[in-house]
Structure 1
Amino acid sequence: MLTSTFGAPLAQKSARAKEITKCIAVFMAKDMRPFSVVENEGFRLLINTLEPKYHIPSRQYFSQTEIPALYKQTKEKVIQTLRQANSIAITTDGWTSRATESFITITAHVITDEWEMLSFVLQTRPLYEAHTGVHIAEILRSAVAEWELERAACGIGVVTDNARNMDVAVREAGLAPHVKCFAHTLNLASQAGLSVPRVHRLLGRVRRVVAFFHRSTTAAAVLTSNQKAMELPQHKLIFDVVTRWNSSLDMLERYLKHQSAVAATLLSPYVRRNAREIDTLDHADINDAEDIVKLLKPMKMATTVLSDEKTPTVSLIVPLKHMIESSMAPNEEDSATVSAMKRAILDNLSNRYTDVYDWLLECTALDPRFRTLPHLEEDLRQDVFRRLREKAVQLSNKTNVTMEEADEGDGGEGTSGPTPAAEQPVNLTGTAEEAEVEQPPPNKKTALEDLLGGTFTEPAVAESQVYCIESEMAKYKNGKPISLKSCPLEWWKENAKIMYPLLSPLAKAYLSIPATSVPSERVFSTAGDIVNVQRSQLLADNVDMLIFLKKNM
């Protein structure tokens, strides 16, 4: 009947059928639909209405054939984009699914030739074994090889949380520089401040009030009525999450904004009989709460700024850390609560990043917003630019060697494997002396090069290159900083080729590294939708492919 009405069914290999099948696979990946969606009555009705001659393949076909094919196609595009980048950074973080399975996700970050920041979720691997640094190091090494991340000219920067096993993992994998997630660092410092006994007790009292309003529909209704009467927004009170310090700040802010309505509600006879154990905050508590919000507000703003994935953030670590530490300096007007919080935060924060501080200063200097390094003494500022000058020379030399080797191989075409120069990339985290490596054997010369090259060309070219880098560096460091509202990548895009052709590759290598592991952490929410109750039995390979496609298509 269908055949006579609509014609013969579409052949599975016909162009039209292939197009529809691929679109269904894209729909599954982009909208995070389970493979079983193809068995849903409403979905089948929709497809049959749009194309009656199309036969929907089975869920197994999509999980075993179509999604893997789409993954392979997208992966090739991602690798091709990564190949074009001269420097790559990665972020990594672990998470646990609803089925209590542990995974680790790796995200790559590059700055393109057009000075655009791109991020790609590369892989999500299960952690079946203990979460040891050695095991994670093997996953990192495998990712570097599989995604062709190694570069001849410079190392691979890695951003992780502050866990000790990540220290071991990055060191064992031979990756550098290793940057601890600044958002995680701020979380640890803020949690230290919120753990001060008086603050801890205050948060507990507010939490009990909020919990009461969340479980009592009567109290919530009276609160809404009082908010309207007082011309306040009809907002619910916020309940904090212990692992997220900024949620405690949000809870306090919302409570303070609606404290008058909350107090009036708790005095209502309809509410009071069920809230006998709930006390509103007294005057001293309110003052402490206001002081806590004021003290932590800059740290919350810093966390928000760091979440931007389109502009460099690693260059912000030193300025933001300096600003926060300055705001934690003792003040005669501080209350006992504020003084205790400041000490706790400062004690937790002050010793962070000592191992990579010089490198972070170099990152900051290469951001045109902060190139004057105003918080440094002049001799320290000069040291920063001296190190950058030396590393720019090294990077230029390594790049030239790599290009020469690529030109000689395969008739001038580069190979996909690492060149000998890649074994010793520029040491961005060390000194020039530490980064010195044995030079590769000289290429075979022509007779004229053998006779005259050493006298008439090579030294002159080398000296000219060093002079040009010194000239660029002097011009850059003495230039006027751009506005904080300006985009540093846009500035480099406008000035790199003409003004700073030798310095700009170094800036690209430094600024491509994020300040936080937020890009990898954001996979958690995606993964929560993919590995949900319906699909908690997904194979690890399918979890990997679906997250990859969701983030990269």
Structure 2
Amino acid sequence: MKSFVLQTRPLFESHTETNIAGVLKAAIQEWGLEKAPHSTAVVTDNARNMEVAVREAGLSPHIKCFAHTLNLASQAGLNVSRVSRLLGRVRKVVAFFHRSATATAVLAEKQKMLEIASHKLIMDVVTRWNSSMDMLERYLEQQAAITASLLSTEVRKNARQLDTLDSNDITDAEEIVTLLKPLKKATSVLSDEKSTTLSLIVPLKSMIEQSMTLDEKDSTTIANMKAAILQNISGRYSEVHNYLLESTALDPRFRSLPHLLPEQREEVFHRLMDKSNQLQQAGTVERADKREGGASDGDPTDAAEKREITQRVEQEQPPPSKKTALEDLLGATFAKPTVSQSKCRIEVEIEMYKKDTSIPLTSCPLKWWKENAQAYPLLSSLSKAYLTVPATSVPSERVFSTAGDIVNAQRSQLLPENVDMLVFLQKNL
């Protein structure tokens, strides 16, 4: 199971499933991954053509961008009729101030008079749900200044057609912003390019589903929004749920898997044990005991590492029961096998890992695995295959923006290979 960020060739044909699948296959072949295409993770948006293309290319697991998933769920909530009408009315007010220089000047005066921050009103973009939340939040911040401006003599005659918000509307707007704030924070966290994000999908999805649980105190508007968001997000990722759970378990911040039942946790770690064994059999993980591989018979590092693991596991074992008569007579000659001999190496590592202390949420799991690679040689290799997979396609989409910044009217004669190098330097330095 490997993860790579593939730079595919441009697709000049129509973006059909077959054409996209062909580009994916070409990228796999170019990077020398054709021997095991089924174990190459692919991260795309939720578009239907991408889903079919990945399936036709024979690639798995297919991770659908969680930021895009949050966008779809939030849009479902914002499309509730009451919320949609509210946003439309706010949008008209904001548009009026944007196109009227007089209204903008009066708004600035009222902000200064009322000692409100001198911020411009925000106009949302329909395709970006968080911009709608930002528009509402800014409107609430500037509500007093907006009302005072619309009542002023200079503005009133041109603002007669505007349908301003009453107290019930303001209350709904405040509750909508409060409801959507966790989703906006989750989107921001997932868009980070310098930390692992795949392991966050299950914890964040569980948190969002819990926050969308209906409460008897909810207004009708909020109850409808919660139901729409929950319905949209709850059925997603079912086909890769086990894979996501495994990645979460390999993140030392979430290794306890508190949202699962004990037997479900055991199933997750049992699957990780099987995956580790598969990697060893495929030759992608170095043998823990180098003597079995015929190399470095007297490697002191490997021997010390083995002794350390054995000692740690033995310290965690329950106290021995009372010796039997046979053990008392022959125990010195026929000693019982050590823990490392009776247990598979990966079993020892998993037991140690589960009992180890979880790291703070602000810590970097990749750095932790690097520092603890000697204590967990098999699990650390497995973690690289999972935790290097991004949860969103945001980083790859930013590459297009970077290319647009590099190739402009003054630099339109750049050779394609030079553009590739400049984009690479921009994203990696």
For this structure pair, what is the TM-score category when the shorter chain's length is used for normalisation? 0.7 to 0.9
**Contact between 1:157 and 1:178, CA under 8 Å: does it hold in 2?**
yes
The two structures, once aligned, show a CA RMSD in angstroms of 2.6
The answer on 1:526 being equivalent to 2:410 is: no
- In 2 relative to 1, CA 132–542 (structure 1 residues): closer, same or farther, beyond 3 Å? farther
Alignment of 1:297-316 (within 5 A): 297-316=181-200
Of residues 190, 197, 208, the one that matches 2:81 is 197
Secondary structure of 1:239's match? coil
Give the whole-Å Cα distance in 2 for the aligned partners of 1:464 and 1:511.
30
Alignment of 1:56-455 (within 5 A): 87-90=2-5, 108=6, 122-123=7-8, 125=10, 127-149=11-33, 155-399=39-283
**Contact between 2:9 and 2:27, CA under 8 Å: does it hold in 1?**
no
How far is 1:530 from its partner?
4.1
- The C-alpha deviation readout for 1:168-201, integer Å capped at 9, x for no partner, is 2112222221100000000000000000011001
- The C-alpha deviation readout for 1:423-471, integer Å capped at 9, x for no partner, is xxxxxxxxxxxxxxxxxxxxxxxxxxxxxxxxxxxxx9xx969711100
Alignment of 1:472-487 (within 5 A): 472-487=349-364
Give the whole-Å Cα distance in 1 for the aligned partners of 2:341 and 2:161.
79
Give the whole-Å Cα distance in 1 for the aligned partners of 2:18 and 2:159.
53
Secondary structure of 2:378's match? coil
Alignment of 1:499-518 (within 5 A): 499-518=375-394
- Residue identity matched to 1:284: N
The structure richer in strand per residue is: 1
Secondary structure of 2:43's match? strand
**Contact between 1:152 and 1:402, CA under 8 Å: does it hold in 2?**
no
- The worse-fitting range, judged by mean Cα deviation, of 236-245 and 132-141 is 132-141
Secondary structure of 1:522's match? helix
- The C-alpha deviation readout for 1:305-338, integer Å capped at 9, x for no partner, is 1011111100000000000000000100100100
How far is 1:145 from its partner?
2.3
Give the whole-Å Cα distance in 1 for the aligned partners of 2:219 and 2:370.
49
Give the whole-Å Cα distance in 2 for the aligned partners of 1:152 and 1:208.
55
Higher RCO (CA-CA < 8 Å; seq separation 6+): 1
Identity of aligned residues (%): 63
**Contact between 2:198 and 2:244, CA under 8 Å: does it hold in 1?**
yes
Of residues 485, 495, 498, the one that matches 2:372 is 495
- The worse-fitting range, judged by mean Cα deviation, of 263-272 and 221-230 is 221-230
**TM-score between both structures, scaled by the size of structure 2:** 0.82
- The C-alpha deviation readout for 1:212-261, integer Å capped at 9, x for no partner, is 11111111111111111222211101110111000001111111011011
**Contact between 2:21 and 2:56, CA under 8 Å: does it hold in 1?**
yes
- Residue identity matched to 1:178: H
- Residue identity matched to 1:190: S
Secondary structure of 1:503's match? helix
**Contact between 2:3 and 2:386, CA under 8 Å: does it hold in 1?**
no
How far is 1:527 from its partner?
3.3
Give the whole-Å Cα distance in 1 for the aligned partners of 2:78 and 2:427.
35
- Residue identity matched to 1:501: P
- Residue identity matched to 1:489: L
Of residues 320, 324, 347, the one that matches 1:470 is 347
**Contact between 2:111 and 2:145, CA under 8 Å: does it hold in 1?**
yes
**Contact between 2:346 and 2:379, CA under 8 Å: does it hold in 1?**
yes
- Residue identity matched to 2:4: A
- The C-alpha deviation readout for 1:14-55, integer Å capped at 9, x for no partner, is xxxxxxxxxxxxxxxxxxxxxxxxxxxxxxxxxxxxxxxxxx
- In 2 relative to 1, CA 358–313 (structure 1 residues): closer, same or farther, beyond 3 Å? same
- In 2 relative to 1, CA 546–487 (structure 1 residues): closer, same or farther, beyond 3 Å? closer
- In 2 relative to 1, CA 400–342 (structure 1 residues): closer, same or farther, beyond 3 Å? closer
Secondary structure of 2:194's match? coil
- Residue identity matched to 2:83: V
Give the whole-Å Cα distance in 1 for the aligned partners of 2:97 and 2:361.
42
Give the whole-Å Cα distance in 2 for the aligned partners of 1:530 and 1:486.
34
Give the whole-Å Cα distance in 2 for the aligned partners of 1:400 and 1:271.
71
How far is 1:399 from its partner?
2.0
- In 2 relative to 1, CA 539–212 (structure 1 residues): closer, same or farther, beyond 3 Å? farther
How far is 1:361 from its partner?
0.5
Give the whole-Å Cα distance in 2 for the aligned partners of 1:490 and 1:369.
12
How far is 1:351 from its partner?
0.4
- The worse-fitting range, judged by mean Cα deviation, of 179-188 and 263-272 is 263-272
How far is 1:149 from its partner?
4.8
- Residue identity matched to 2:344: Y
Secondary structure of 2:131's match? helix
Instruction: In structure 2, list runs of 5 or more residues that go unmatched.
Output: 288-336
**Contact between 1:238 and 1:250, CA under 8 Å: does it hold in 2?**
yes
- In 2 relative to 1, CA 348–536 (structure 1 residues): closer, same or farther, beyond 3 Å? farther
- Residue identity matched to 2:276: A
**Contact between 2:38 and 2:59, CA under 8 Å: does it hold in 1?**
no
- In 2 relative to 1, CA 197–533 (structure 1 residues): closer, same or farther, beyond 3 Å? farther
- Residue identity matched to 1:517: S
**Contact between 1:152 and 1:399, CA under 8 Å: does it hold in 2?**
no
Give the whole-Å Cα distance in 2 for the aligned partners of 1:256 and 1:373.
39
Q: How many matched pairs?
A: 379
Instruction: In structure 1, list runs of 5 or more residues that go unmatched.
Output: 1-85, 91-107, 109-121, 404-459
Query: Match of 1:419?
Result: none
